[in-house]
Amino acid sequence: MGYLNLLQRYSTLKYQLMKKLLLIIILFAGLKVNAQGWEDAGKYITRDSITRKTYTLTHDTISRKTYTLIFINKDATFAQKGDTVKQRMIDAFFSAYAAEAETFNKNTLNKVTFIIDPDYKGVAATANGVVHFNPAWMLKKPTDIDVVTHEVMHIVQDYGNSGGPGWLTEGIADYVRAVFGVDNPGAKWFLPKFKPTQSYTDSYRVTARFFIWVERNVKPSLVVNLDARLRAHTYNDNTIKDLTGKTFDQLWADYAAANTPKG
């Protein structure tokens, strides 16, 4: 009986070791390890790689003053080529997030997670304090660093499931990118000029430019007020008229007139 127990324990241990060995071999293949073998692979393989269901190549925790960023990379190519853009993303987070929190929501999360996620095929997406970034995009467009500025504003917004129309949420996030961005010119990112075919509900940059015009000409701090009401779930169809004395349609008509060449 003791011999059988010992044999069973040996078989279980052998199975676990084989699983780990197989995983390491898979990781080597994904990383395209060359003749340098372990020396190069050791830069990218961590003990987390053996225990997580989705391979984590690096897992860093960075804290500066009030805020902490957890930076998780799950992409082998980004691990090899993304050091510079990774550092720029980290710096952009601490610069933009602190400014956004101070301006819009001092009660925002103190800890945020970035995941470089090869399974995500968009540019970036945010939910529950976690931002997923497409590694292919960040490597192809390393100057588009203010994707970070836009995405972390969604954490600051914290509108929940009933915080108003989506065009307003995204318009505010791009307004924040325009105002707090660290290198929009480097990314050749800009707010588009007015066109008669546009609408304030087009969202993103079109709405952001409209908001900037309204703040300069009608109601300073409009976006701060809209953001606060969206987060408090007190925003409604009358909110814009309460704040500016005009509806969105009336403000857009004024904006269009001001941006249409005379004669």
> Per DSSP, what are the bridge partners of residue 184?
none
Q: Span 136-146, mean pLDDT?
A: 97
Q: Span 153-180, mean pLDDT?
A: 94
Residue 46 has pLDDT above 80, yes or no: no
Pairing, β 58-64 against β 111-116: unpaired
Cα–Cα distance measured from residue 128 to residue 131, given in angstroms and rounded to the nearest whole number? 8
pLDDT given at position 180: 97
Cα–Cα distance measured from residue 176 to residue 154, given in angstroms and rounded to the nearest whole number? 10
Residue 42 has pLDDT above 90, yes or no: no
Q: Span 2-28, mean pLDDT?
A: 49
Residue 100 has pLDDT above 80, yes or no: yes
5-9, 45-49, 140-144: the lowest-pLDDT one: 45-49
Angle at the Cα of 105 from the Cα atoms of 103 and 108, rounded to 5 degrees: 130
Please check whether residue 120 is in contact with residue 135, taking contact to mean a CB–CB distance below 8 angstroms. no
Distance of CA 4 to the CA centre of its chain: 54
pLDDT given at position 161: 80
Distance of CA 141 to the CA centre of its chain: 15
Domains of the chain and CATH, by start: 32-158 (1.10.390.10), 161-263 (no CATH)
Q: What is the dihedral of CA 15, 16, 17, 21, to 10 degrees?
A: 100
Residue 202 has pLDDT above 80, yes or no: yes
Percentage of residues of the chain with pLDDT beyond 70: 78
Q: For all residues of the chain together, what is the average pLDDT?
A: 86
Percentage of residues of the chain with pLDDT beyond 90: 75
172 burial via Cβ count (<10 Å: 0-12, 13-18, 19+): buried
Please check whether residue 105 is in contact with residue 156, taking contact to mean a CB–CB distance below 8 angstroms. yes
Nearest to 113 by CA among 153, 61, 159: 61
Residue 209 has pLDDT above 70, yes or no: yes
Q: Span 145-152, mean pLDDT?
A: 98
Could you tell me the end-to-end alpha-carbon distance of the chain, in angstroms, rounded to an integer?
101
Residue 63 has pLDDT above 90, yes or no: yes
Residue 32 has pLDDT above 80, yes or no: no
135 burial via Cβ count (<10 Å: 0-12, 13-18, 19+): buried
Cα–Cα distance measured from residue 156 to residue 154, given in angstroms and rounded to the nearest whole number? 5
Q: Span 186-193, mean pLDDT?
A: 97
Which one-letter amino acid corresponds to residue 49?
A: S
Pairing, β 111-116 against β 67-73: parallel
Secondary structure element (H or E) that encloses residue 2, with its range: helix 2-31
| Chain position carrying tokens 């898979």 | 26
Which one-letter amino acid corresponds to residue 113?
A: T
